[in-house]
Amino acid sequence: MKEKPINSIPGIPVLILGLSAIPLGLIMAVIALVNIRETGQFDPVFIAWISLAALGVYGLSGLYMVEPKQAVVLSLFGKYVGTTHATGLRFNNPFFTKKKVSQRVRNFESGHMKVNDLGGSPIEIAAIVVWEVQDSAEAVFNVDDYESFVQIQSESAIRAMASIYPYDPDNEKDVALRSHPVEVSERMKNEIQDRLIQAGITVIEARISHLAYAPEIAQAMLQRQQAGAIIAARARIVEGAVGMVDSALESLKEKGVVNLDEERKAAMVSNLLVVLCSNGTTQPVVNTGSIY
């Protein structure tokens, strides 16, 4: 079911006519009724004045208010008639059932959900979803409660999305929950939109608001992250130390400071690497004799 527009009548003129017609009709009807009792003859004018008052009541009962960014879904005896977006005081058939639907931008934050990532590790995740009603007819008639539908389906999509990515990437090219927030948010938005499109809902934005390992493995994963950081730092230190040693040997050779055979070069390389890669302060040993 798709939304279709329907015209409505401005309500201010109807309000003025209704407020004027009711007292005028009742007063004149009472006067006509008194004349009928005095003369003993029925006066058709009495029916006319009663009809005028009833018409005023009819007009007032068909009035309703429409605020900005709000749609009113109209139905007659269970049949969808149309939707009006005209703001202000409006008038339609009083027998129409009127359902107001807000089309303002709304958001909600899901609760902290425990799910398993791609590697099977339990994690906690929560997300913020920004959405709005695009088709008021689908939101009213395709689902029972579109607000509850948005929340439940969004949380289901977040769970499904979290299970297809690892928490941390195994290498730089892998997309992971922690390291690629833009890609993950776009995938999450598409997952939620696919589930909400039948309710006439448009997802504007979806992003992770909370991401952490589950408490039972948080300490172990923290140690794993620390170990990975230490290994990466060591690899960078060794890489830099090798470059410095190579530069030192080349500089000594070019300037002719000292000529070293392969054995002495190996000893020098070993000593330099120990000095450059050591965590603590090294203790030098001074050789006062011949280098040979």
Check whether 286 has a pLDDT greater than 90. Answer: no
Tell me which H or E stretch contains 9.
strand 9-10
Spell out the CATH class of 106-213: alpha beta
pLDDT higher than threshold 80 for residue 63: yes
The SS3 of residue 72 is strand
- Could you give the residue ranges of the DSSP H alpha helices within the chain? 11-39, 45-61, 136-141, 146-162, 181-196, 215-255, 262-277
Going from N- to C-terminal start, the domains of the chain cover 9-100, 106-213, 224-277
Model pLDDT, residue 215: 74
pLDDT digit string, tens, across residues 139-195? 999 998 999 999 999 999 999 888 898 888 777 778 888 888 899 999 999 999 999
Pairing of strands 113-116, 106-109: unpaired
What SS3 class is residue 61? helix
Q: d(Cα 63, Cα 84) in Å, to the nearest integer?
A: 13
Beta bridge partners of 70: 102
Q: Judge residue 86's burial from the number of C-beta atoms within 10 Å of its C-beta, 0-12 exposed, 13-18 middle, 19 or more buried.
A: middle
Query: What would the mean pLDDT of 229-253 be, rounded to a whole number?
Result: 76
pLDDT at res. 280 = 60
pLDDT of 9-37, one tens digit each? 999 999 999 999 999 988 888 888 888 78
Please say if the pLDDT value at position 250 is more than 80.
Answer: no
Q: How many Å apart are CA 222 and CA 242, to the nearest integer? A: 30
Q: Which one has a higher pLDDT value, 217 or 75?
A: 75
Q: Using pLDDT thresholds of 50, 70 and 90, give the confidence band for residue 127.
A: very high
